[in-house]
Amino acid sequence: MERNELYPIFLKVHALDTLIVGGGNVAIEKLLFLLKSSPNAQVTMVAPIFRPDIVALSEKHGFKIIEDVYDAGYLVGKHMVIATTDDVDVNIKVYNDCKERNILVNVADNPPYCDFYMGGIVTKGNVKVAISTNGKSPTTAKRLRQFFEDVIPEDVDELVQNLNKYRDTLKGNFEDKVKQLNEVTKNLVSRKKIKTQF
Ligand SMILES: C[C@@]1(CC(=O)O)c2cc3[nH]c(cc4nc(cc5[nH]c(cc(n2)[C@H]1CCC(=O)O)[C@@](C)(CC(=O)O)[C@@H]5CCC(=O)O)C(CC(=O)O)=C4CCC(=O)O)c(CCC(=O)O)c3CC(=O)O
Ligand SMILES: NC(=O)C1=CN([C@@H]2O[C@H](COP(=O)(O)OP(=O)(O)OC[C@H]3O[C@@H](n4cnc5c(N)ncnc54)[C@H](O)[C@@H]3O)[C@@H](O)[C@H]2O)C=CC1
């Protein structure tokens, strides 16, 4: 079997500055998935022409859109960049400019030019599951997202909240706490389905 060697992390995108280059179909797709998961994401967009729905979203969510062609000056202060223009050379320039500045970059339609991929995302309260197919089949990522949205119980967040409270009541050293938490949760996972109640 081929391996997926990507390392998933969960970014606090409300505390990081993200630039989206381009304002068309791909830009709105990436923007919507970002905002769906992280409504307070700090986003700036730059493009000469924006889809009207992007303009409306920028007003609703309060992010900045800049009507201009891409220039490396727009990278100042950015931690992460997503390039979505319909000009391959512009996207590759964005990639190279970011590499020079150690900024994480994703060229949405060009996997070799991605430091990271956007994943399929399932969110149930505090629980979040991210899915990647190593860039091989975004459609599979979407289908798996739908599958996990269905099988992960809605009340999984109650479990998290209860265990969080229980965790705060535990005394003793780290090892004792781990033991007690493992003991109380040992029956939660059966082979067939995820349980949310003790
Ligand atoms: C590499 C990656 C880079 C990145 O964008 O980060 C990438 C690249 C490309 N996407 C393409 C197409 C499509 N993308 C989707 C959907 C999603 N794409 C997403 C992620 C990623 N897409 C990253 C890899 C993720 C991984 O590792 O699996 C998801 C998961 C998350 C998100 O977009 O935020 C989101 C589903 C979210 C959800 O529903 O939950 C659909 C399906 C649909 O829309 O129904 C199609 C059409 C069908 C098809 O082609 O499969 C093409 C082909 C372009 C062409 O043909 O020219 C490329 C370029 C290429 O592969 O070369
Ligand atoms: N639409 C889709 O679902 C898919 C698109 N693609 C590819 O992704 C790329 C983008 O597609 P779309 O979003 O549909 O294109 P689009 O035409 O809707 O959007 C392109 C955007 O890039 C902007 N742009 C052009 N030059 C720029 C520059 N120098 N600086 C900043 N912004 C600039 C334009 O103003 C526009 O907002 C294309 O190469 C397309 O072939 C690939 C797969 C699916």
Tell me which amino acid residue 1 is. Answer: M
Q: What's the CATH code of the domain at 31?
A: 3.40.50.720
Q: What ipTM was assigned to the predicted interfaces of this complex?
A: 0.93
- The structure tokens listed for 44 are 């700036």
Do 37 and 86 fall within a single domain?
yes
Distances (CA, A) of 184 to 32, 126, 156: 39, 20, 16
Mutate to test the pocket of ligand 1, among 80, 128, 136, 139 (most ligand atoms within 8 A of CB): 139
The Cα 66–Cα 64 span in angstroms is 7
74: left (phi over 0), alpha (psi -120 to 50) or beta: alpha
Same domain assignment for residues 61 and 22: yes
**Closest ligand 2 atom to the C-alpha of 46?**
31
Ligand 1 nearest-atom number relative to CA 106:
6
- pLDDT at res. 193: 56
109 in contact with ligand 2, CB cutoff 6 A? yes
Closest C-alpha to ligand 2, atom 23: 22
- Phi, psi dihedral angles at 68 (to 5 degrees): -165, 160
Do 124 and 64 share a structural domain?
no
Helix segments in the chain, DSSP class H:
25-37, 52-61, 88-100, 138-151, 156-169, 174-185
CA-closest candidate to residue 130, choices 13, 1, 21: 13
**Ranges in the chain, pLDDT < 50:** none
pTM exceeds 0.90:
yes
| pLDDT digits 0-9 by tens, 103-139 | 999 999 999 999 999 999 999 999 999 999 999 999 9
Q: What is the pLDDT of residue 95?
A: 98
> Which residues constitute the domain of residue 52?
1-118
Q: Measuring from each residue's beta carbon to the nearest atom of ligand 1, which residues come in under 6 Å?
A: 29-30, 33, 106, 108-109, 111, 114, 117-120, 132-135, 137-139, 141-142, 145
> 188 and 174 share a domain?
yes
- Whether residues 127 and 174 share a domain: the answer is no
What type of residue sits at position 126? N
Q: Say if ligand 2 is within 6 A of residue 24 CB.
A: yes
65 and 95 share a domain? yes
DSSP code, position 191:
S
Same domain, 160 and 135: no
Same domain, 6 and 16: yes
Residue 192: the pLDDT is: 57
Same domain, 65 and 128: no
pLDDT score at 190: 66
Looking at the structure, tell me whether residues 90 and 55 fall in a common domain: yes
CB 79 within 8 A of CB 100: no
Q: Say yes or no: 38 and 95 in one domain.
A: yes
Same domain, 136 and 163: no
**What pLDDT, on a 0 to 100 scale, did the predictor assign at position 187?**
83
What is the domain count for the chain? 3
Location of structure tokens 């599979």: 140
Residue nearest to atom 19 of ligand 1 (CA): 138
